[in-house]
Amino acid sequence: MRTDRDAMEYDVVIVGGGPAGLTAAIRVKQQAAAAGRELSVCLLEKGSEIGAHILSGAVIETRALAELFPDWQERGAPLNTPAGEDRFLFLTEGGSFKLPTPPQMANHGNYIVSLGNFCRWLGEQAEALGVEIYPGFAAAEVLYHEDGSVKGVATGDLGIGKDGQPGHNFQPGMELHARQTIFAEGCRGSLTRELFERFKLRDGADPQTYGIGIKELWEIDPAKHQPGLIVHSVGWPLANDTYGGSFLYHLENNLVAVGFVVGLDYKNPWLSPFEEFQRYKTHPAIRGFFEGGRRISYGARALSEGGFQSLPKLTFPGGLLVGDTAGFLNVPKIKGTHMAMQSAMLAADAVVALLADAEGGREAQAYPLALRDNWLWDELHRVRNVRPAFKWGLWGGLAYGALDTFLFRGKAPWTMAHHDDHSQLGEKTAYAKIDYPKPDGKLTFDRLSSVFLSATNHEENQPSHLRLKDAMVPVSINYAKYGAPETRYCPAGVYEILGEDEGAPRLQINAQNCLHCKTCDIKDPTQNIVWTVPEGGGGPNYPNM
Active site residues: 56, 301, 337, 490, 514, 517, 520
DSSP letters for 466-512? EEES-TTHIIIIIIHHH--THHHH-TT--EEEE-TTTT--EEEE-GG
- Closest by CA to 342, choosing from 366, 324, 315, is 324
Q: Are 168 and 174 in contact (CB under 8 A)?
A: no
- Residue 390 DSSP one-character state: G
328: alpha, beta or left, given left = phi > 0 and alpha = psi -120 to 50? beta
**Does a cis peptide bond (omega within 30 degrees of 0) precede residue 237?**
yes
- The answer to whether the bond into 32 is cis (omega within 30° of 0) is no
| Furthest C-alpha separation in the chain | 71
Cα separations in angstroms, 282 against 216, 245, 271? 14, 15, 18
- Give the span between the Cα atoms of 220 and 253, in whole angstroms: 9
- In this structure, how many other beta carbons lie within 10 angstroms of the beta carbon of residue 469? 11
Find out whether 179 and 12 touch, Cβ atoms under 8 Å: yes
- Residue 109, classified by CB atoms within 10 Å of its CB into exposed (0-12), middle (13-18) or buried (19+), is exposed
545/542 Cα distance (integer angstroms): 6
Tell me how far the alpha carbon of residue 169 is from its chain's centroid. 32
454 neighbors 447 (Cβ within 8 angstroms): no
| Alpha-carbon span 233 to 97, nearest angstrom | 10
In the DSSP assignment, the letter for residue 85 is -
Non-local (6+) Cβ contacts of 381 within 8 A are: 308, 410
Residue from 352, 301, 322 nearest 456 by CA: 301
Rounded-to-integer distance, Cα 22 and Cα 225, Å: 32
In whole angstroms, what is the distance from residue 71 CA to residue 73 CA?
6
Rounded Cα distance, 545 and 145, in Å: 39
DSSP string, 336-359: -HHHHHHHHHHHHHHHHHHHH-TT
